Amino acid sequence: MRNSGLFNDHVKRLLGCLAGGVVLALMVGNQEGVQRDFGYAFRAAIFSPRLVVFLGFGLALFVAITYWSRISPYFVRPGARPLAAGAAAVVASYGLLHWTDSNQVTGGKLGALSSAVSGTDGISSFTRTFFGSVVPGTPWLLLVVVVALGVVSLVLRLPVLAWLAAGLGLLVGVWGYIAQSAVSDYLKTADHSTGAQVAILGYAAIASGCFVIARSQTDQADTVGFIERVFGWRPGFPLAVLGTAVGLVALLTATWFSPADRNPHLSGMTNLFSGEGLSAISSAYLSWLVWVIFVVALALAFAATYLSRQAFSWASIVIGLGAVVLTLTTMHEFSSIGGKSGFDGANGPWQNIGAGPWMLCGAFTMFAGAGWIALRQGRRVDPAAPTVVAKAGSNLNQVLIIVVLAGALFYPPTATQFWQTVIVAEIGIYVLLAIGLNVVVGWAGLLDLGFIAFYAIGSYTTAYLTGTLPIKPPDWLHLTPLAAIPFAIVICLLAGLALGAPTLRLRGDYLAIVTLGFGEIIRIVAVNADKVTNGPKGAFGIPQPVIHLGPIHIQWGQSALQFWYLLLVLIGVTVLLFNRLEHSRLGRAWAAIREDEVAAQATGINTTRVKLLAFAIGASTSGVAGVFFASQIGYINPDNFLLNNSILVVAYVVFGGMGSLPGAIAGAATLTWLPEFLKDQVPAEDRQMWIGAVILLMMIFRPAGLIPAKRRAAELSGFDGVKSAETVAVPAGEGM
């Protein structure tokens, strides 16, 4: 009877996994139904050889679930994680990312490019072979071979196979990159696709995993220990390594000017601007000086991190930041020349600049950051073993902060106009909202579903103070958008108090319902108060930010990048203030209320005051976001502040990690970027389905969020992580 029941369970599980494979076959692909034939998509997905592949996924899932106890020990062996991560990156590059931007290849993905290249005689056989002219599906076949060799070497502990997989993986990655470059040269179009780059990075990760497999003899990977050793060995050293890699790409392969037309590397800049009136310092910089500065900055960064001498650290900081200023000055000069001549339709400086100089600025920033970490952390030498002993977690956080800062400063100019708009109008604003809601939901544990109301209040406050509503402010109160920020913050604080006061006795679902009603009340008032808010028509002509301080005159509105750097300042100030707030006495009081309000009150915490402050302070960031949104768009109406937006902000906080300030930022950035990224990758009708699948996977495998708070992670896994199931010997003195 027991065997019969087990057999029935296995049959049910197999059928469920195969059904999941059928669902994947329906999800993946461009086949869609039509109004007159709703079964067309189903037949296109099912009655096709592609179904066999997805049924294979279902069968593999069945095997993994059924024999998980036997398979799981292999996933924690050294090298398994980089092997899996690299394979996932290559699969993403093959299936999702574009391999060409040329209009001659429909879609631009690997499959379409392979079909086009295989039938083109003008391309070398070396390139056509990679794209499948001899064996169809060659890239996928090579990936399967490399991963299979790596898995077999992992399971059977065969170093020879691991070395073979590592070498073959590197060769395939380089082959794909060279083949894609050859196709771009053949098409003679500026190409900025990322598929080949991601593929070579994925194969590099696979090779590193196989290298670890070949060298390691342990049964369980110590990932945390490895990270501690890497970041604790020399403070800032990994940052210097990353800066070197980014800088070499910027100097050797990246475009420096006119990415849509001339597309020159650094080596071609001197000829391109010869005789165009460049200053002597800029000409020298583009021809030879940049290499000298890069080598000096690189050497100082490595010397500062390895030797931990204050002189080298200060020199690294000064040279790195000075190189950033010199690079920006040179960029301004050659882009101004292009703007004056109307090159590629430019009409001013900072246009038509490629990714190369911006990447180089990021590399110099990392060199300066490496010197700063070495100067700040220092090192302690153990006389018995002269190695650096440092706080790896602190070093890792500092490295991440500098990398994020460099990316925030120098990545947006390299993005397209579409992505620049997404970064400003969606990612940046929702990051501000998520930071504020994290105070209420993450720190204080109060579920607020009407948070978007404060966003609306901040926006309408800006419209009123700038004189774009039917009701006008007094002349002395007529302000610019930037001057309206303090007023918007104060009014949102008062609105937060107004919401918090009558809800102090409510908890859980009841609090959520009341806050939801508050958000709808604000929206309905905005719709019906025609004489105040202009009703459904909204406010038109909200001016854009401007600064007049003596000789300083800054006018926003020429491009999305201007707004991004303004928004970056606002986010930076908010993050610094809220980080201090989290570790203050008030922040600890919020944590106590979240854990147990009755116990917090018993310890002497004024829960009424603390909860009111949570609502008020959390609402303040919405006021800042409202000012920015209204002045950047120039037009608002009640439809901008729907209930769905409140629910989205809550989802961002939960997805990133409740109670974690970096998690709230990461959650908002990820879930606002993902739908825009999927626009070019999957059919529009399937976009929400894929987002839902990502969220489900997060709920299963990382329930605490992307970057969970330490307390939240400890609640789920304990302070020491997962305990070992092995029996531990107890000293005789500790026995009964």
Nearest in space to 62 (alpha carbons), one of 96, 103, 121, 15: 15
Distance CA 671, CA 664 (A): 11
The pLDDT value given to residue 173:
93
For the segment 368-374, the average pLDDT, to the nearest whole number, is 93
Kindly indicate the confidence band of residue 393, based on its pLDDT and cuts at 50, 70 and 90.
Answer: low
Task: Give the least confident one: 33-42, 107-116, 262-271.
Answer: 33-42
Distance CA 59, CA 122 (A): 42
Q: Parallel, antiparallel, or unpaired for β 635-636 and 546-549?
A: unpaired
The pLDDT value given to residue 16:
87
**CA dist list (Å): 378 to 11, 331, 480:** 61, 35, 46
The pLDDT value given to residue 730:
39
Question: Tokens in use for 478?
Answer: 């007529």
389 three-state secondary structure: strand
Residue 127 near residue 175, CB atoms below 8 Å = no
pLDDT tens for 181-227 read 888 888 877 677 888 889 999 999 999 999 999 988 787 777 767 77
Ordered by start, the domain boundaries in the chain are 1-66, 73-221, 227-414, 418-684
With 0-12 / 13-18 / 19 or more C-beta atoms within 10 angstroms meaning exposed / middle / buried, residue 165 is: buried
pLDDT tens for 550-567 read 777 777 777 778 888 889
Q: Which residue has the higher pLDDT, 294 or 470?
A: 294
The pLDDT value given to residue 541:
86
- The mean of the pLDDT values for the chain is 84
For the segment 583-597, the average pLDDT, to the nearest whole number, is 88
Per mean pLDDT, which of 10-24, 606-620, 671-685 is the most reliable?
606-620
pLDDT tens for 671-720 read 998 888 887 767 666 677 778 878 887 887 788 888 887 766 665 555 45
Per-residue burial over 119-155, b = 16 or more CB atoms within 10 Å of its CB, e = otherwise: eeeebeeebbbbbbbeeeebbbebbeebbebbbebbe
Kindly indicate the confidence band of residue 524, based on its pLDDT and cuts at 50, 70 and 90.
Answer: very high
Distance CA 365, CA 367 (A): 5
Name every residue whose Cβ is closer than 8 Å to that of residue 3 and which is 6 or more positions away in sequence.
none
Residue 636: φ, ψ to 5°: -135, 150
Question: Tokens in use for 564?
Answer: 């991004």
pLDDT tens for 300-345 read 999 999 988 889 999 999 999 999 999 999 999 988 888 887 777 7
How is residue 291 annotated by DSSP? H
Rg (CA), the chain: 29
Nearest in space to 365 (alpha carbons), one of 236, 482, 174, 496: 236
The pLDDT value given to residue 725:
36
The pLDDT value given to residue 292:
95
Question: Tokens in use for 711?
Answer: 């307390």
Q: Which residue has the higher pLDDT, 276 or 215?
A: 215
For the segment 8-16, the average pLDDT, to the nearest whole number, is 85
Question: Tokens in use for 269?
Answer: 């800049």
Q: Is the pLDDT of residue 256 over 80?
A: yes
Question: Tokens in use for 334?
Answer: 């050659």
Kindly indicate the confidence band of residue 394, based on its pLDDT and cuts at 50, 70 and 90.
Answer: low
Q: Is the pLDDT of residue 382 over 80?
A: no
For the segment 661-673, the average pLDDT, to the nearest whole number, is 91
The pLDDT value given to residue 385:
43
Q: Is the pLDDT of residue 387 over 60?
A: no
Residue 45 near residue 75, CB atoms below 8 Å = no
Question: Tokens in use for 287?
Answer: 């021809």
The pLDDT value given to residue 260:
73
Residues paired with residue 388 on neighbouring β-strands, in sequence order: 381
539 three-state secondary structure: strand
Task: Give the least confident one: 223-227, 255-259, 381-385, 568-572.
Answer: 381-385
Q: Is the pLDDT of residue 410 over 80?
A: yes
The pLDDT value given to residue 386:
42
Distance CA 156, CA 455 (A): 58
Find the length of the chain.
736
The pLDDT value given to residue 731:
42
How is residue 136 annotated by DSSP? T
Task: Give the least confident one: 278-282, 546-550, 655-659.
Answer: 546-550
Quote the percentage of the chain above a pLDDT of 90. Answer: 31
Q: Is the pLDDT of residue 501 over 50?
A: yes
For the segment 631-640, the average pLDDT, to the nearest whole number, is 89
Amino acid at 727: T
pLDDT tens for 112-156 read 888 888 777 788 888 889 988 888 889 999 999 999 999 999 988
Residues paired with residue 539 on neighbouring β-strands, in sequence order: 636
pLDDT tens for 535-554 read 888 888 888 888 877 777 77
Q: How far apart are the first and last CA of the chain?
A: 43
Question: Tokens in use for 277?
Answer: 């009136």
The pLDDT value given to residue 716:
57
Q: Is the pLDDT of residue 296 over 60?
A: yes
Q: Would the pTM of this model clear 0.85, i.e. be above it?
A: no
Kindly indicate the confidence band of residue 30, based on its pLDDT and cuts at 50, 70 and 90.
Answer: low
Q: Is the pLDDT of residue 406 over 90?
A: yes
